[in-house]
Structure 1
C-alpha cells in the first residue's frame, strides 16, 4: 500500500505540473483574445483539484508509512524510506503444479495427517482388547521338615463378558478417524481453492498490467501530445485537452493499481502454496 500511495502521489504531482503549464498557456491565449475566460477558469479548477489530490496523497503516504511501521515494530515510521520499484516478473507456473506443491508443504495438512495417524494407532490399540490375556506364574514352596517344591500356573482370560466395552472403544476410535479424515479433505479443498483464487487474481492483474504498458499508456500519451499541440494551434478546445489529461491520469493510476494487485496476489499465492516461489524475471 505504501508503494501504491507513493506512486499515486507521483502521478498527481506530475499532472499538477502539467496543468500549471497548460493554465499559463490558457492565460496567454486569453490575454491576446484567442480563447475565452472559461478556459482560464477551467484550468484553475483542474489545478485546484490536483493540488487537493496531491495534499490527500501526501497524507496517505504518512498514513501508510505509519501502518507499515507498526507492522515492522518501528518506533520511528519516518525511518522507512521510499519503496523500491517492484521487479517486473512473469507468472509462468502452472496452477496444477502449484496446488501439488501446496498439498505437500502446507503445515496444517502435515499436522492433520499426524492426527489421523495417532487416531489409527489408538484404534489398533483398542482392538488389542479383543485378544485373550495369558498369565503364567511360577512359585517356590517352602515346607517344614520336607523338601521344598516348585509350582507353576497358567491362566487365560477371554474377553467375552466385556466385549461391549471394547466395541465402544474401537467405535470411538473409528469415529475420530472419520472426523479427522473429513477435516483433512476440507483443508485440502480449501488449499486448492486458495491457490486457484490467488493464481487467477495474479494472472488477471498481470494481464491488466501488460495491457496498460503495451496499449493504454502509449495511446493516452499520444492523445495528450496531440491535444496539447491542437490546443496551442487553436484546433482543440480546452475541455478536450483536460479530458486527455484526466485520461492519462486514470490510465497511470489503474496501471499502478494493477501492479499492486499483482504483488498482493503473488504474496497470497506464496502463502497458499506454503513457500516462496521463484519469479521468472522479465529481460
Structure 2
C-alpha cells in the first residue's frame, strides 16, 4: 500500500517546477531588461564630443559583441521555460482487425480506437533542468558584463596610447624649439667659430632625429584613432582636446578593492552561475536516476454496431534495473565540482590582477617622483648653464647637444611613465569592475 501511495505522490509531483525557479527566471529577465535600458538611456552626463570619454562610451554602446551576448541570454531564458514544460501530449489512432479481404465490411467489423497519452518526467527533473537553464541565462549576463568591461578597458587603453603619443609629440616639439635656438646661436657665432659648418651639421642631425621621432608619434596617434574607429564601426574618427594622463595620489585598500571586485565583476557572476547550473543539472540527473518516468493514457474504443468503451493505461520506467542516468548523475556532479574550482581559480586571478595593477601604478608613481625631485632639476640646471656659457663665450657644442638630448629623453620618459600610470589605473578599475573614487594629481 505504501508503494502505491508513494507512486501516486510521485505522479502528482512529476513535472512540477517550483515557484522559486520561476521567480529566479523572472529576476534574470528583469536584469536583462535593466541592462538594455542602461545601454539606451545612460544615467551619467554626456561627455564632450570627440573626447576620450565620449569615444569610449560610443565603443561600448555600438559594439555588436554585446548584442550577441544579450541574445544568448534571451535564448537561455527561452530554454529555461522550455526545460520547465511537460513533454507534449501524444495523440494515438489505432485500427484493429480491419477486414482486409473485404473492406466493404469495415463499417461492421474491426475495432477503431483513439487515445491521448502524457509522459510525466521524474519529480525534480524538470525543476532541476529549468533551474540550470535559468542560471545559464545569468551566466550569459555575466559574460555580457565582462565583455562590456573589456571593451571599455580596451578603448580606454587605446585613448591613453593616443594621449601618450600626443604628450610626447608636444615635448619633442619643445625639444625641437631648443635645437632651433641652438642653431640661431651658432649662426650668430659663425664669424668666430673654428668649424661652423660641422657644428651646424651636428645640430641639424639632432633636429632631424627629433622630427623622425615626431613622425613616429603621429603614426601612433593615427593607429590609435584607427583602432577606435574600427571598434565603433566608422571609417575615421578624430580625438579632440588635450591629452589627460592621470597620476593617482592614493590607492584604496587592496582588500576593499578585492571585495568590490567579487561583487561587481561579471566573470565572478558567470563562474558562480555556472556552478549553480551544474549543481542543478546534477539534481535533475539524480532525480532521473532514482525516480521512474511515468506515462498515463486514456483510450476511446469503438467496434461497429457495438457499444463504445473507454480504456486507461499506466506505465513507468525502471531506472533501478539498468539505465545510463546513474552515470549522467556522476558526470553532472563532477562538472559541479569543476565549476566550484573555476570559481576559486577566478578569485585568485582577480587578486593577481588587482595586485599587478597596484604594483605597476606604484612603480610609475615612484619613478615620476624621482624625476620631479631629482632628475629634472639637475638636467635643467646643466642645460641652462651650458646655454648661458655658449651665449657669452666659448663652450662645448657637444656638451650642449648632450644636455638638450638628456632633457628631451627625460621629458619623453616622463610622458611614458605618466601613460604607464594611466594604463595601470585603467587596469585597476577594470579589475575591480568600475570607477574608483580617489584623488588625482595632474
Q: The TM-score by the shorter chain falls in which range? A: 0.7 to 0.9
Relative distance call for 1:132 and 1:52 in structure 2 (3 A) is: closer
Which of 203, 217, 221 in structure 1 is aligned with 2:362?
203
Q: In the TM superposition, what are the counterparts of 1:187-266 in structure 2 within 5 Å?
A: 187-234=346-393, 236-266=395-425
Q: Any gaps of 5 or more consecutive residues in structure 1?
A: 138-155
- Partner secondary structure for residue 276 of structure 1: coil
Other-structure match for 1:182:
341
Task: Give the deviation of 1:130 after TM superposition.
Answer: 6.8
Task: Give the deviation of 1:186 after TM superposition.
Answer: 2.4
Relative contact order higher in (CA < 8 Å, ≥ 6 apart): 1
Moved more, 257-266 or 267-276: 267-276
TM-score, L = length of structure 2: 0.52
Other-structure match for 1:36:
194
Other-structure match for 1:10:
170
Q: 2:219 and 2:285 mapped to 1: Cα distance?
A: 63
Q: Any gaps of 5 or more consecutive residues in structure 2?
A: 1-160, 297-315
| CA RMSD after TM alignment | 3.1
Does the aligned pair in 1 maintain the 2:246–2:418 contact within 8 Å? Answer: no
Task: Give the deviation of 1:66 after TM superposition.
Answer: 4.9
The answer as to 2:218 corresponding to 1:61 is: yes
Does the aligned pair in 1 maintain the 2:249–2:439 contact within 8 Å? Answer: yes
Relative distance call for 1:121 and 1:100 in structure 2 (3 A) is: same
Q: 2:424 and 2:291 mapped to 1: Cα distance?
A: 60
Moved more, 23-32 or 111-120: 23-32
Q: 2:274 and 2:392 mapped to 1: Cα distance?
A: 78
The alignment covers a number of residue pairs equal to 260
Q: Deviations over 1:9-60 (max 9, x none)?
A: 222222222222222323333413xx4216x523432333323432552463
The answer as to 2:266 corresponding to 1:107 is: yes
- Partner secondary structure for residue 436 of structure 2: coil
Q: 2:235 and 2:391 mapped to 1: Cα distance?
A: 52
Does the aligned pair in 2 maintain the 1:65–1:80 contact within 8 Å? Answer: no
Q: 1:9 and 1:3 mapped to 2: Cα distance?
A: 10
Relative distance call for 1:120 and 1:59 in structure 2 (3 A) is: closer
Q: 2:176 and 2:319 mapped to 1: Cα distance?
A: 90
Q: 1:225 and 1:183 mapped to 2: Cα distance?
A: 60
Task: Give the deviation of 1:119 after TM superposition.
Answer: 1.8
Relative distance call for 1:96 and 1:46 in structure 2 (3 A) is: farther
Does the aligned pair in 2 maintain the 1:198–1:268 contact within 8 Å? Answer: yes
